Structure 1
Amino acid sequence: MEKYMFIFIGGDISHLSPEAQQAHMGKWFEWVKKLQDQKRYASGEALLPEGKLITGPKKTVTDGPFAESKEVVGGYFVVLAKDMKEAVEMAKECPDYVLGGVVEVRPVMKFDM
C-alpha cells in the first residue's frame, strides 16, 4: 500500500443550521470510521481558518489564509491505497462535494534515508 494525501478545499458549513452542521459532521465521522475499519486511514486533521502566510526571501509574515476564500484548505487525511486510481475512488466518498468542496489527491513521496 502507498500513502496518499487528501487535501480538503472549500466545503464551508458555516451557512448551515446547527442541526444541519451536526448531520454533515456525522457523515464525516461515518466516512472516517469506514476508512479506519478498512485499515486505510493513516491520519488526518481539520484545520482552523486562521493562520499566517510567510513569503519571499525576506520571510514576510501576513495574516491568512482568509476564511471567506473558497479555496481555504480545511483539513487533510493521509490514506493507504494500492494506487492513485484506488485513492481517487476513496476520495469520491467525501461528504463535502454537496457544499462545493474539492478534494485534491496527492501521492506522498517516499525518501530513502
Structure 2
Amino acid sequence: MKDFVFIFRQADSGQNSVSAEEADTINKKWNDWIGGIAAQGKLKNHGAHLDPAGKVLKPGGVVTDGPFVEIRERLGGFIVVTADNFDEATTLAHGCPALEADGSVEIRPIFA
C-alpha cells in the first residue's frame, strides 16, 4: 500500500459566502464521500479544509497576499488516502464534491 494526498482545487468564483442550508448540503456531500473512503479502510488522514486567505513567501523575502488575481482557482484542502497504486487512488477520487463545483482533485503520491 502507498499513501497519496488528494489536493482539492476549486474555481474561484469570487463569492465566498453561501447560505447555512447550502453549507449543510455541501458539508454532507463531503462527509459522505470521505466517509465512504474511510469505510473502505483507505482514509489515512482527514487532512484539513483551508481558508481562502493566504500569503506567499518568495525569494528575497518578498511576501504577497492571496488570493491571487492571476489564479482562477483556489486551494480548498486535502486528505491523505492509502491505495495499492495510482489507478486505485484515482478511482477513490471519483465522486469528490469539488468536481461538482467545477473543481479538481490533484492526486499525488507521498514519498515514503
Structure 2 length-normalised TM:
0.85
C-alpha separation in 1, matches of 2:11 and 2:89:
20
Point out where structure 2 has 5 or more consecutive residues left out of the alignment: none
Corresponding residue pairs, total = 109
Partner of 1:53: 56
* Structure 1: gaps spanning 5 or more residues: none
Percent sequence identity is: 35
Tell me how far apart the structure 2 counterparts of residues 22 and 31 of structure 1 sit (CA, whole Å). 14
Greater shift, 33-42 or 83-92, is seen at 33-42
Asked if structure 2 preserves the Cα contact closer than 8 Å seen for 1:6 and 1:78, the reply is yes
Residue of structure 1 equivalent to 2:27: 25
1:70, CA displacement in angstroms? 3.3
CA separation of 1:91/1:10 partners in 2, compared to 1, >3 Å: closer, same or farther?
A: same
Aligned CA RMSD, in angstroms, stands at 2.2
Does 2:6 match 1:6? yes
How many angstroms apart in 1 are the aligned matches of 2:104 and 2:77?
A: 11
More strand by share: 2
1:31-110 aligned within 5 A = 31-43=33-45, 44-56=47-59, 58-66=60-68, 69-110=71-112
Measured in 2, the distance between the counterparts of 1:92 and 1:38 equals: 14
Measure, in 1, the Cα distance between the counterparts of 2:87 and 2:94: 11
Contact 1:11–1:96 under 8 Å retained in 2:
no
Once the 2 structures are TM-superposed, how far is the Cα of residue 22 of structure 1 from its aligned partner? 1.1
Letter in 2 for 1:3: D
Moved over 2 A (4+): 11-18
Distance 1:24 1:32, change over 3 A: same
Deviation at 1:74, TM superposition (A): 0.5
